[in-house]
Structure 1
Amino acid sequence: MNVPLEVRCETGALILVWSGGLRQHLPLASLRRACPCAGCRRERMNGNTGANMGDRAGDTAHEDLTLTGIVPMGYGVQLVFSDGHDRGIFPWAWFEHFAAPIQPATPDHTSAPTTRTATGVSAAPSHGPSMQ
């Protein structure tokens, strides 16, 4: 199983840094819309595009989201969104296939230092929720 070396939240996005220096920038609004929990999958399958899902063209329901928690689950993370949704557990393999091109990581000298966690994943406590 491929596990990112670093997980952090920046304004409006989840950042994953994978081995080899590859970096993924995942907009929180897109993650919320694609939540893999059973309830969200059922809503998408039934074609319900109500206010909870925000899948309609031009919808901005999820544009101001933040993360209030990132909970390590071993095989992935549970993301807790500021709209109260906390049921989605996002497996690491899901992230690898979710967003197209993974960009090579570039040194970011403006970010706070990261800390190591027991799962081997780093989190930047001053840039959103910590995984500790």
Structure 2
Amino acid sequence: MARTLNPQLFGPIETPVVNVQPSSQAQNRKLNEIESQVEVLNQKLEKWVQILDGKIQQLHSNQKNLMEQIKNTAENFSKQQALMQSRINERKTAEVKTQELFDRHNQLIHNFEARVSQIQKVSNEQEMKLLSYQSTYDEIL
């Protein structure tokens, strides 16, 4: 139950009414000026919003382009790196083969020198035998 004041004790409650008359020309002019200022501000805000939207879209586009460039650069770098690695591997393989050829060539030369030395030794021995036979033959004759 709500409490209320007894009107018989204090009398009826009157609310004061302020009589405001906005009909004066100065107040109307100020109100119109404020409304026009608000309208100008709204127009400026709309322009700013449009400009900012355009710049945000441009930044988005630039970001996408930059990301694509970064992606393409990374792909190109990966391809070049793979190509360089394959070339390095090919060179290493070629160097190993070349070294094997040199080693084989040196071994063949060493074997050839050993054979030539052996042949010279045999030739010297045979020459000695021949000289021995010659001297024996000469003695016999």
TM-score, normalised relative to structure 1: 0.13
More strand as a share of residues: 1
Give the structure, 1 or 2, with the largest relative contact order (CA under 8 Å, sep 6 or more): 1
Tell me the TM-score normalised to structure 2 length: 0.12
Answer with 1 or 2: which has the greater Rg. 2
